Amino acid sequence: MLRYVVIHLARVLLHRHCPERAQLGLKTIEKSLPEPILEQFKETLKYMTPSKHHSSIRLLTSLVDSEKDWIYKTLKEED
């Protein structure tokens, strides 16, 4: 389940930071996201194991939280 979240989050982040490449998803993450966001995203992936699942979720939550203002603003615009 966490893998699906990561795939969709990658598209959301790309839609914000590099919209012309957003449909490529994980394929273009390395080349298209700003370095701080990319590092946080990669850190999340590092913990996607059964034993460290909770750490990955915390990092994902933090990443989504840092982008939530933009997400809510975008959703309201596309009402």
Task: Tokens 């982040």: give the residue.
Answer: 13
Q: Is residue 32 over pLDDT 90?
A: yes
Candidate from 2-6, 31-35, 55-59, 75-79 with smallest mean pLDDT: 75-79
Q: What is the pLDDT of residues 8-18, one digit of tens each?
A: 999 999 999 99
Q: What pLDDT score was predicted for residue 46?
A: 93
Q: Which long-range contacts (CB under 8 A, 24 or more apart) does 62-70 make?
A: 63/9, 63/13, 63/37, 64/9, 66/40, 67/12, 67/13, 67/16, 70/16
The ranges assigned to domains in the chain are 2-77
DSSP class per residue in 25-43: GGGGHHHHS-HHHHHHHHH
Q: What is the pLDDT of residues 48-79, one digit of tens each?
A: 999 999 999 999 999 999 999 999 998 887 65
